[in-house]
Amino acid sequence: MNAMNPITTPALALDRLGKTFRGVAALDDVSFTVPKGALTVVLGAAGAGKTTLLRAIAGLERPDAGAIHIGDKDAAGREPRDRDVAMIFDNLALYPDKTGFDNIANPLRIRGMEKGVIEAAVKDIAARLKIAHILNRKPKTMSGGERQRVALGRALVRTPALFLLDEPLSSLDAQLRIELRAELRRLQRSLGYTFLMATPDFAEAMAIADTVIMLRAGKVVQIADPQTLYDEPADREVARFVGAPEINLVPAEIGPGGGVRLAGGLLPLPEKFLPLLAPEARAIEVGIRPEDLALAPVEGAALSGVVTDIEPLGASVAISVEAGGVEFRLVVPVAATASITPGLAVGLSVETGRMHAFDPQTGVRLA
């Protein structure tokens, strides 16, 4: 990499990073940047390489190839303590014999900061995290959420160039996880911190990220803002990973005269599918999000089938419909399901302009 302009230098820049364990690539040609003051999320399933990536950036794993720049400094050969990063793990690793105050203050004491400065910094971050009332208690007397806040406070009390968060909320219950991720986002924005956070939870990524880096088998497969990742997935697997209920994937065919044949029905050809027209019929795989399907009268419906399952989701209901040998899942408001029962014949309407076309062999999105 060439010398970086300090005005435009990102907080983090990775260039073709690679790491192999026993012949298996954990990281494969990974390149991306993280802007200063941004919250960037690395999203991927278990085993995708997320933790290895963060450990390599922190200096806890030595990469086999590639370069890491933190700010304008090359991290090669630098010890973890010299990289100006703070890493937050899910396992918390609080000192059990220290109070909440002492746990948070510990990194500042290691740096030899004055007592008054330490006290002010700890009280400030405790107030922001709403844990001032537990500063004099030890971890064993705290709830899981309180311990998590203390661990976050211990990291956030510093002002490093970069925070690395490895699934920091995964051990918490759903409600607390939602509450804490909102607090994390608020703190990150108000303090201008730079976060690189790893998670397998697409909803978490969608809720808080400025940019999402989709990692699969050690490779970066897409970098996009959350909405683009959802609306324009790079391939079939990204489309499946991002969204719940999962996207409907259906074998289909584009006729030479236009129209999309699938599940025994014929749908009008969306404008974005026009480049896929060919002199002969072309096989594709169509992706339809559950929210882009709706119930319709059987007569005149684009697709028709039979209700096989009904799953209440609170304000909405997920309905499974078997049509033409394919099971579709759609999400509809509760009010629209009063007379819907398993075995009922129904029609389906499709928001064709929001359909995706994937290559049946490679899975790459074609349109």
For 233-292, the pLDDT digits (tens) are 999 999 999 999 999 999 999 998 889 999 999 999 999 999 999 899 999 999 999 999
- The answer to whether residues 40 and 188 belong to one domain is yes
- The answer to whether residues 203 and 306 belong to one domain is no
The residue among 7 and 183 whose pLDDT is bigger is 183
- The answer to whether residues 229 and 262 belong to one domain is no
Please compute the mean of the pLDDT values over residues 31-60 and round it to a whole number: 97
| CATH number of domain containing 297 | 2.40.50.100
Please compute the mean of the pLDDT values over residues 22-43 and round it to a whole number: 97
DSSP state, 339?
T
Write down which residue in 234, 265, 295 finishes a domain: 234
Distance CA(32)–CA(116), nearest Å, equals: 40
- The answer to whether residues 307 and 175 belong to one domain is no
**99 neighbors 138 (Cβ within 8 angstroms):** yes
Considering its fold, how many domains does the chain have in total?
2
| CATH number of domain containing 39 | 3.40.50.300
Q: 262 exposed, middle or buried (CB, 10 Å; 0-12, 13-18, 19+)?
A: buried
Q: What is the mean pLDDT of the chain?
A: 93
Count the neighbouring beta carbons within 10 Å of the beta carbon of residue 238: 24
- The answer to whether residues 307 and 207 belong to one domain is no
236 three-class SS: helix
Q: Is the pLDDT of residue 2 over 50?
A: no
Instruction: State pLDDT tens for residues 97-125.
Output: 999 999 999 999 988 999 999 999 999 99
| Structural domain contains residue 3 | no
Distance CA(344)–CA(150), nearest Å, equals: 53
| Structural domain contains residue 71 | yes
- The answer to whether residues 278 and 180 belong to one domain is no
- The answer to whether residues 187 and 292 belong to one domain is no
| Structural domain contains residue 133 | yes
| Structural domain contains residue 219 | yes
- The answer to whether residues 123 and 257 belong to one domain is no
Write down which residue in 178, 212, 234 finishes a domain: 234
- The answer to whether residues 73 and 189 belong to one domain is yes
Write down which residue in 202, 234, 266 finishes a domain: 234
Q: Is the pLDDT of residue 219 over 60?
A: yes
**132: CB partners within 8 A, 6+ apart:** 123, 126
Range of the domain at 292: 248-358
The residue among 257 and 196 whose pLDDT is bigger is 196
Q: What's the whole-model pTM score?
A: 0.91
| Structural domain contains residue 4 | no
